[in-house]
Amino acid sequence: MPELPEVETMRRGVAVVTGSTIEMVQLVPCDCKPIRVEPKIKTFQRRAVGKRIHEVGRVGKRVLLQLDSGDSIVFEPRMTGLVLVTDPPNVDHLRFRVALSGGRVRELWYWDRRGLGSVRLLSPRQLEEQFGPHKLGPDALLIECESLRERLKQSRRAIKVALLDQRIVAGIGNLYASEILHLAGIHPAQGCHRLTRQQWQAIHAAIGEILHTAIRYEGSTLSDGTYRNALNQSGGYQNEHRVYDRAGDTCPRCAQATIRRIVQAQRSTFFCPHCQSRRARRG
Ligand SMILES: [Zn+2]
């Protein structure tokens, strides 16, 4: 958390800064564990101040400000980071400030409660090195079904674990992987190499449907309340979750079985043993 829908919601909220000029970038003094900021702030300032933001983009689970100089400022929220254009949830965890002119908003903030995220200014070459096709798969909203299948059809990994691999497909995390496989009716432990073409089509369709719907709801704000959109408002998709964090509840699809929780690669997976039975799908 946050995953593609939350970061895409932040990107859309922050897109208002397109066309603005950066007047200053500053670290905000903070008593907590410092976030990663690169390069050193003096160099950061020299390369960013006076530059115009020509586009606000997203690469996987990161928000990008593309500057007219060719450099990009990359905000990576990781677990608890937020990119905001309004007052933050509190001032204690404010980390980075971008002062702006020439547009509708005067300030853009990076806030991070646990401080695991980062703010980096990257040259076009560094951007390619870090997020080029050899490091990051196609975006989950853009990947084609055949490309997804080709990348994984030989793999013996469990499909749920494979969907979290950002080199295969970018943007899906632990929460949405469970939701996607429930909609697709695929058991999360099913080996990729055993999936049929029809099942790949179901997974691909579910990726699009779940992520687009979650973006429409502006992402999921879980019980820890950390995730907020760029205007410091909660998302709404947490009320629509089918299986995530619903162990013990009745499945909303079959209304018969109980949602179960298992652990795969040290992460919780939630699924319905009836709708996502391995045997039923094989026959
Ligand atoms: Zn079910």
Å from CA of 257 to ligand 1 middle: 5
For residue 243, how far is its CA from the centre of ligand 1 (angstroms)? 9
How many CB atoms are closer than 10 A to CB 108?
Answer: 27
> Would you state the pLDDT for residue 281?
46
Torsion angle of C-alpha atoms 270, 256, 190, 212, degrees rounded to 10: -60
Which member of 11, 51, 58, 61 is catalytic?
61
Whether 3 is catalytic is yes
Q: What's the mean pLDDT in 32-47?
A: 96
Residue 195 burial by CB count (10 A; 0-12/13-18/19+): exposed, middle or buried? buried
Question: What's the pLDDT at 33?
Answer: 86
- Percent of the chain having pLDDT more than 90? 90
Concerning whether 88 is annotated as a catalytic residue, the answer is no
Are residues 174 and 246 both part of a single domain?
yes
Are 192 and 231 found together in one domain? Answer: yes
Q: How far is the CA of 184 from the centre of ligand 1 (A)?
A: 11
Find the CATH number of the domain harbouring 168.
Answer: 1.10.8.50
* pLDDT for position 43: 98
Q: How far is CA 151 from CA 8, 76, 111, in A?
A: 24, 26, 36
The one catalytic residue among 52, 157, 261, 267: 267
Domain that holds residue 266: 145-282
Mean pLDDT of 76-94: 93
- What is the tally of structural domains in the chain? 2
Which residue, of 103, 131, 159, is where some domain finishes?
Answer: 131
Last residue of a domain, one of 99, 131, 163: 131
pLDDT of residue 282: 43
Q: Measured in angstroms, how far is the CA atom of residue 246 from the centroid of ligand 1?
A: 12
Whether residue 123 is contained in a domain is answered as yes
Query: What is the whole-number distance in angstroms between the Cα of residue 260 and the centre of ligand 1?
Result: 10
| Mean pLDDT on 36-40 | 97
pLDDT tens, position by position, 202-224: 999 999 999 999 999 999 998 87
Tens digits of per-residue pLDDT, 244-278? 999 999 999 999 999 999 999 999 999 999 999 98
Q: Is a pLDDT exceeding 70 seen at residue 235?
A: yes
Alpha-helical segments (H) within 101-158: 124-131, 145-152
**Ramachandran quadrant class, 266 (left: phi over 0; alpha: psi -120 to 50; beta: rest):** left
Tell me how far the alpha carbon of residue 265 lies from the centroid of ligand 1, in angstroms: 23
| Co-location of 126 and 189 in the same domain | no
Residues 72 and 12 in one domain: yes
Q: What is the pLDDT of residue 279?
A: 66
- Residue 137: inside a domain, yes or no? no
pLDDT at 283: 36
CA of 196 to the centre of ligand 1 (A): 21
Q: How confident is the model at residue 13 (pLDDT cuts 50, 70, 90)?
A: very high
Do 188 and 108 share a structural domain?
Answer: no
Q: How confident is the prediction for the chain on average, in pLDDT?
A: 95
* CA–CA dist 33, 279 (Å, integer): 48
Catalytic residue flag (residue 144): no
* Domain edge (last residue) among 131, 162, 187: 131
CA of 63 to the centre of ligand 1 (A): 36
- Can you give the pTM of this predicted structure? 0.95
Q: Of the residues 2, 5, 77, 88, which is catalytic? A: 2
Is residue 138 one of the residues assigned to a domain? no
61 is annotated as an active-site residue: yes
Task: State whether 218 and 115 are in the same domain.
Answer: no
Contact by Cβ (8 Å): 182, 272: yes
The pLDDT of residue 183: 98
Report the range of poorest mean pLDDT among 28-37, 56-65, 187-196, 268-277.
28-37
Locate 205 and state its tokens.
Answer: 């369709």
